[in-house]
Structure 1
């Protein structure tokens, strides 16, 4: 009933997303086998970068959510690192830890795209929660108004994902620069850092692509039914 030619393209995008996820794990595992020449752990790297930026008020905690659950919480000013990153001294551990510090630096500097992303959170949450129900109901009942509202709400979630892309790329760029600037990696090790961070960024690109394609599909269906 909901099949549309765009579904073929979306399936390809899903395949890309699955490949990206596998790539992240593969690159992280490869990087985990390479000990950084500095011998520093993820938590040590995070603390040193934070202190170099005058961010002594940002805490670092051990995340209890398992591997690759690393994140920065701007409301509590806390960087939470998974155990392999927190205690590890590999290229992967340093890369992920520095990336999360990149977000803390963005927050401290009021990085414009991060500020916009935070402002968009309520709209994205409402959109992601309500849009699926409105779209399904609109298609089942053949009510264009419901479909239209669903598309508008879903658009908010898609815009949020688009805003997230430059935020993530910027955090990775800050991470690489600080690792080199503070001498925590060598120029040769930067290549490994790039692989880990680029693979992670690819997952955001793939998920955003899927969301954009789904939005295009809904808009096309809406216009077809409207005519």
Structure 2
């Protein structure tokens, strides 16, 4: 039963990722009437929100590597977004600046997520090996403790995935509202395109969270079913 669910989630994930990439490609070819680049849009949004201590940098980590780093207060944009003058570049640049605005305004979900990062980083590196060792010990020695530790670590990473959702949705909402009020997306077509691109980006996080939850339930079932 669980394998059917796993396959279903994997298929949905592939569909969503493919859809997102196709949407990003489509709107990357949709020129912005304002002619502003992603870097210029990011700087404009930061300044109009009273943020002057965040740098906008070009990242060299490949496509869709855009992110905000609260540790050193940098908005890192991939080359196609930093230099791009498209609806997609505008949407992504504004979204990442939405995270900077969250940081500046002490948005509670972002603070909670940031506080979890050190613990989740350790948990995510160890989870796979601990779960494997735990399943083997349960099968051959009937010892549940290692698996219990693995399930606990998996719970933390799953919780982190769900906490990420309001952070990402809020950043997109801030981005779309600002793009509209700042008149960066001049037409309804531009605004709708930015909204569509960010919607599919958000869907990738939703699928990742659901996948994490299914995995957690699977290993929790193994743990408690064997103990019973």
TM-score of Structure 1 vs Structure 2, range by shorter chain: over 0.9
2:215 counterpart residue number: 214
Cα deviation digits, residues 9-42 of structure 1 (max 9, x gap): 0111111111111111100110011111111110
2:63 counterpart residue number: 67
Structure 1 alignment gaps of length 5 or more = none
Cα deviation digits, residues 97-120 of structure 1 (max 9, x gap): 000000000000010000000111
2:190 counterpart residue number: 189
TM-score by length of 1: 0.96
Shift of 1:127: 1.7
Shift of 1:175: 0.3
2:163 counterpart residue number: 163
Structure 2 alignment gaps of length 5 or more = none
Cα deviation digits, residues 27-59 of structure 1 (max 9, x gap): 011001111111111011111110001111111
Cα deviation digits, residues 141-185 of structure 1 (max 9, x gap): 222111111101110111011100100000000000000010001
Shift of 1:126: 2.1
* Number of residue pairs the alignment of both structures matches: 223
1:14 counterpart residue number: 10
1:36 counterpart residue number: 32
Please say if residues 180 and 187 of structure 1, whose CA atoms lie closer than 8 Å, have aligned partners that are also in contact: no
Which region of structure 1 is more displaced relative to structure 2, 115-124 or 130-139?
A: 130-139
Q: Runs (4+) of structure 1 moved beyond 6 Å?
A: none
**C-alpha distance in structure 1 between counterparts of 2:150 and 2:58, whole Å:** 39
TM-score by length of 2: 0.95
- Alignment partner of 1:89 is 2:81: no
Shift of 1:123: 2.0
**C-alpha distance in structure 1 between counterparts of 2:39 and 2:105, whole Å:** 22
Q: What secondary structure, in the 3-state scheme, does the structure 2 residue paired with 1:72 have?
A: strand
